C-alpha cells in the first residue's frame, strides 16, 4: 500500500519548526555563553579566614592553660601562662642594679655638694683672716699692738688661703670624678632598659588573645615546654571571612575588584551570602615552575590541548550571620555579578 504524500504545507511547517529549533538552540547557547562570561560562576571555591600561630615571646613550661580546642575566645582573654619565676628573678636583679647605680650617682652628687660647701666655708675664713690682718697692720705702726699678734694674724691668713686652695682642688677633683664617671648616667639608662625588658618578659608569661577568634589545632597540656617564637596552636580570626574562588583565566575580563558576588555554601542549602571581590590574584605558581634562581626548564614537547590556568579571586564576606556561622574549608559556589547588574540593583535599592 503506498504511503500518503504529505502536503506541501506540512513539509514547510516541519522545515520551519526544525529551523526554529536550531535557531533557538543557537540563541540559547549564545545566551548561556554570554551569561557565563559576564556572570562567571565556579564551584572551585572554599571559605577562608585569617590564621595566626600563637607563639610565646618567652620560653618556659606551661603552668596554666585556659582554653580547649575549638573554643571561641574574645580579644584580651587569657590563653595560657608560662612559669614566670625565672623572669621575676631577672627583674629583681635588674631593679637592684638600677637602685645601686642611682645610689652611686647620688653619693657622687653629695660629694660634689659637700666640696662646694667646704670651699665656701674656707673662703669665708680667708676673708675674715684678711680683714683681721688689714686691721692689725696699721695698729703695729702706732705700737698699739705687738708684732707677735700681727704675725699670728698673717699666719692665719696664709693658712686660710692655703685651705681655700686645698678646698678648691678637692672640688675640682670631685667634679673631675663626675666627668670621669659620666658614663654612670648611661649605665643608669642601661639599667632602666634592663628593668623594662625584664618586666616585659614577666608580662609576656601571660599570653592573651589579640582578637576575637576560635582556637584550632590545640594539642598541648599543662607542663609542656613552650619555645619562644614557636607556635603552639592556631587562632582563627572571626572578624573577617572570605572566599577564595579559582576562576579560569578566560574570565579575567569579567572579574574586577569591587564587583558583588553571590556565594552559596553547601553547608547551608538555599542560603545566599553576599560578597565583594577584594582582588584578583597576580601570581600563580605552576607545577612546572623552576626554582627561584635556577635556570628555566623548557620541555621539548608541545601539548595540543591547553588547559586554562586557574586564577584565585578573593571575595570578602565580612562577619557571618549568627545563625549561619562560617567555618574554614567549607565548599562554596560563587557567581560574580556584572557591573551593569550591580548598578541596576543599586539603582533599584535607592528608589523609594
Rg over CA atoms, the chain: 45
- Report whether pLDDT(31) > 80: no
DSSP E strands in the chain: the ranges are 41-54, 60-65, 72-73, 78-82, 206-208, 213-216, 225-226, 233-248, 260-265, 272-280, 310-318, 331-336
- Report whether pLDDT(36) > 60: no
- Report whether pLDDT(196) > 50: yes
- Report whether pLDDT(55) > 80: yes
- Report whether pLDDT(131) > 90: no
Distances (CA, A) of 121 to 32, 116, 118, 167, 168: 107, 9, 5, 9, 11
The predicted pLDDT at position 339 comes to 61
CATH of domain 86-202: 1.10.287
- Report whether pLDDT(260) > 60: yes
108-122, 158-172, 282-296, 312-326: which has the minimum mean pLDDT? 282-296
Determine the 3-state secondary structure of 291 from DSSP.
coil
As beta bridge partners, residue 243 has: 47, 315
- Report whether pLDDT(179) > 60: no
* H or E, element range at 31: helix 8-38
Average pLDDT of the segment spanning 33-38: 55
262 and 256 Cβ atoms separated by less than 8 Å = no
Model pLDDT for residues 213-246, shown as the tens digit of each residue: 999 989 889 999 999 999 999 999 988 899 999 9
CATH code 2.40.50.100 for 52-83+206-226: yes
Q: Domain locations in the chain?
A: 41-50+238-350, 52-83+206-226, 86-202
Model pLDDT for residues 310-351, shown as the tens digit of each residue: 889 999 998 888 899 999 999 999 988 876 655 555 554 433
- Top-confidence residue, 82 or 183: 82
Planar angle of CA 195, 197, 198, nearest 5 degrees = 65
pTM of the model: 0.62
pLDDT bucket at 166, cuts 50 / 70 / 90:
confident
The predicted pLDDT at position 349 comes to 40
Q: Which of 6-15, 87-96, 99-108, 292-301 reaches the highest mean pLDDT?
A: 87-96
As beta bridge partners, residue 65 has: 80
306 burial class (0-12, 13-18, 19+ CB within 10 angstroms)?
exposed
Q: Which of 83-92, 287-296, 334-343 reaches the highest mean pLDDT?
A: 83-92
CATH code 2.40.30.170 for 41-50+238-350: yes
- Which DSSP state fits 144? S
- Top-confidence residue, 224 or 11: 224
In the chain, the percentage of residues whose pLDDT exceeds 70 is 72
Amino acid at each position: 500500500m503506498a504511503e500518503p504524500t504529505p502536503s506541501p504545507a506540512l513539509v514547510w511547517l516541519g522545515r520551519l519548526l526544525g529551523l526554529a529549533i536550531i535557531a533557538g538552540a543557537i540563541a540559547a547557547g549564545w545566551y548561556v555563553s554570554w551569561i557565563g562570561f559576564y556572570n562567571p560562576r565556579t564551584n572551585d571555591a572554599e571559605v577562608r579566614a585569617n590564621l595566626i600561630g600563637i607563639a610565646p615571646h618567652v620560653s618556659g613550661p606551661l603552668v596554666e592553660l585556659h582554653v580547649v580546642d575549638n573554643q571561641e575566645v574574645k580579644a584580651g582573654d587569657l590563653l595560657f601562662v608560662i612559669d614566670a619565676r625565672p623572669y621575676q628573678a631577672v627583674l629583681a636583679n635588674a631593679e637592684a642594679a638600677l637602685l645601686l647605680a642611682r645610689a652611686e650617682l647620688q653619693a657622687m652628687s653629695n660629694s660634689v655638694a659637700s666640696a662646694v660647701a667646704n670651699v665656701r666655708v674656707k673662703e669665708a675664713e680667708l676673708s675674715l683672716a684678711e680683714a683681721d690682718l688689714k686691721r692689725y697692720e696699721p695698729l703695729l705702726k702706732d705700737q698699739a699692738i705687738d708684732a707677735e699678734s700681727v704675725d699670728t694674724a698673717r699666719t692665719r691668713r696664709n693658712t686660710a688661703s692655703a685651705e681655700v686652695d686645698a678646698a678648691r682642688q678637692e672640688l675640682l677633683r670631685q667634679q673631675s670624678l663626675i666627668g670621669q664617671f659620666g658614663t654612670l648616667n648611661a649605665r643608669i639608662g642601661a639599667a632602666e632598659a634592663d628593668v623594662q625588658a625584664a618586666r616585659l618578659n614577666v608580662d609576656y608569661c601571660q599570653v592573651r588573645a589579640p582578637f576575637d577568634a576560635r582556637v584550632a589545632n590545640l594539642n598541648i597540656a599543662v607542663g609542656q615546654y613552650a619555645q619562644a617564637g614557636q607556635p603552639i596552636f592556631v587562632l582563627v580570626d572571626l572578624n573577617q571571612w572570605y572566599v577564595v574562588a579559582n576562576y579560569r583565566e578566560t574570565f579575567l575580563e569579567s572579574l574586577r575588584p569591587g564587583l558583588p558576588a553571590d556565594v552559596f555554601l553547601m553547608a547551608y542549602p538555599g542560603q545566599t551570602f553576599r560578597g565583594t571581590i577584594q582582588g584578583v590574584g597576580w601570581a600563580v605558581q605552576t607545577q612546572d615552575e623552576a626554582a627561584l634562581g635556577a635556570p628555566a626548564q623548557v620541555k621539548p614537547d608541545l601539548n595540543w590541548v591547553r588547559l586554562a590556568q586557574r586564577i584565585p579571586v578573593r571575595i570578602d564576606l565580612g562577619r557571618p550571620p549568627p545563625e549561619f556561622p562560617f567555618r574554614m574549608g567549607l565548599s562554596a559556589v560563587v557567581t560574580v555579578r556584572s557591573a551593569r547588574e550591580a548598578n541596576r540593583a543599586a539603582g533599584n535599592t535607592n528608589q523609594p
